[in-house]
Amino acid sequence: MKQTTKNVGKFAAVALLSAAVAGVTSYSLRPEPQQETTSFAQEFIQGTQVTPTLFGTPPAGAMDLTKAAAASVNAVVHIKSTQLGRTQTVQEPMDLFEYFFGNPYGGGRQRQRQVQTQPRVGFGSGVIISTDGYIVTNNHVIEGADEINVKLNDSREFVGRIIGADPNTDLALVKIEAKDELPTIPVGDSDALKIGEWVLAVGNPFNLTSTVTAGIVSAKARKLNVYGQSGIESFIQTDAAINQGNSGGALVNANGELVGINSVLSSPTGAYAGYGFAIPTSIMTKVITDLKEYGAVQRAVLGIAGRGLDEHFDDEIKEKSEQLGVNEGVWISEVVEGSSASAAGLQADDVITGIDGKNIKTMAELQEELAKHRPGDKVKVKYIRDKKEKSVTVELKNAQGNTKVVKNVDMDILGAAFKELPDELKRQLNIGYGLQVTGVTDGKMKDAGIRKGIILLKANNQPLRKVSDLEEVLKSASQSPEQVLFITAITPSGKRVNFAVDLSQEE
- 285's CB contacts (< 8 A; 6+ apart) are 41, 45, 187
Confidence of residue 20 (pLDDT cuts 50, 70, 90): very low
Confidence of residue 36 (pLDDT cuts 50, 70, 90): very low
Taking the C-alpha atoms of residue 191 and residue 257, their distance in angstroms, rounded to an integer, is 13
Q: Which domains does the chain have, with CATH numbers?
A: 52-81+122-294 (2.40.10.120), 85-118 (no CATH), 304-395 (2.30.42.10), 411-502 (2.30.42.10)
pLDDT, one tens digit per residue, over 240-270 is 888 778 889 999 999 999 999 999 876 666 6
Q: What pLDDT score was predicted for residue 55?
A: 42
350 has catalytic annotation: no
Q: Give the closest residue to 230 by CA, choosing from 167, 314, 186, 315.
A: 167
The residue that leads in pLDDT, 338 or 106, is 338
Classify 412 as helix, strand or coil: helix
Taking the C-alpha atoms of residue 406 and residue 400, their distance in angstroms, rounded to an integer, is 9
Q: What pLDDT score was predicted for residue 272?
A: 60
Percent of the chain with pLDDT over 90: 45
Percent of the chain with pLDDT over 70: 78
Q: Can you tell me the mean pLDDT for 283-307?
A: 90
Q: Which of 170, 290, 310, 469 is catalytic?
A: 170
pLDDT for 208 beyond 90: no
Taking the C-alpha atoms of residue 400 and residue 303, their distance in angstroms, rounded to an integer, is 11
Residues present in the chain in total: 507
Q: What pLDDT score was predicted for residue 476?
A: 80
Confidence of residue 23 (pLDDT cuts 50, 70, 90): very low
Confidence of residue 8 (pLDDT cuts 50, 70, 90): very low
Q: Cα separations (Å) of 503 from 203, 266, 334, 400?
A: 40, 40, 29, 12
Taking the C-alpha atoms of residue 283 and residue 235, their distance in angstroms, rounded to an integer, is 10
Residues 170 and 280 sit within 8 Å (Cβ to Cβ): no
Taking the C-alpha atoms of residue 134 and residue 175, their distance in angstroms, rounded to an integer, is 5
Residues 317 and 373 sit within 8 Å (Cβ to Cβ): no
Q: What would the 3-class secondary structure string for 366-409 be? A: HHHHHCCCCCCCEEEEEEEECCEEEEEEEECECCCCCCCCCCCC
Taking the C-alpha atoms of residue 367 and residue 232, their distance in angstroms, rounded to an integer, is 6
Taking the C-alpha atoms of residue 331 and residue 328, their distance in angstroms, rounded to an integer, is 9
Q: Can you tell me the mean pLDDT for 366-379?
A: 92
- H helix runs in 121-198, sequence order: 139-142
Q: Can you tell me the mean pLDDT for 277-298?
A: 92
The residue that leads in pLDDT, 178 or 105, is 178
- Which of 148-157, 224-233, 275-284, 359-368 bottoms out in mean pLDDT, i.e. has the lowest? 224-233
What integer best gives the mean pLDDT of the chain? Answer: 81
Instruction: State the sign of the Cα–Cα–Cα–Cα dihedral 370, 373, 374, 377.
Output: negative
Taking the C-alpha atoms of residue 461 and residue 282, their distance in angstroms, rounded to an integer, is 36
Classify 99 as helix, strand or coil: helix
78 has catalytic annotation: no
| Helix or strand run (H / E) with residue 456 | strand 455-459
How many C-beta atoms surround the C-beta of residue 59 within 10 A? 8
Q: Can you tell me the mean pLDDT for 66-77?
A: 93
β-bridge mates for residue 392, sequence order: 381
Q: Which of 72, 247, 267, 321 is catalytic?
A: 247
Q: Can you tell me the mean pLDDT for 323-330?
A: 91
pLDDT, one tens digit per residue, over 461-498 is 999 988 888 988 888 887 777 788 999 999 988 889 99
Q: Which of 140, 234, 282, 350 is catalytic?
A: 140
312 has catalytic annotation: no
Range among 109-118, 224-233, 303-312, 371-380 with highest mean pLDDT value: 371-380
Taking the C-alpha atoms of residue 145 and residue 115, their distance in angstroms, rounded to an integer, is 20
Q: What pLDDT score was predicted for residue 216?
A: 95
Confidence of residue 153 (pLDDT cuts 50, 70, 90): very high
Residues 372 and 282 sit within 8 Å (Cβ to Cβ): yes
Q: Can you tell me the mean pLDDT for 44-68?
A: 55
Taking the C-alpha atoms of residue 416 and residue 453, their distance in angstroms, rounded to an integer, is 11
pLDDT, one tens digit per residue, over 385-440 is 999 999 999 999 887 777 877 766 667 788 888 888 888 888 888 888 999 998 88
How many C-beta atoms surround the C-beta of residue 138 within 10 A? 27
Q: Look up residue 356 and give its DSSP letter.
A: T
Q: Are strands 2-4 and 258-266 parallel, antiparallel or unpaired?
A: parallel
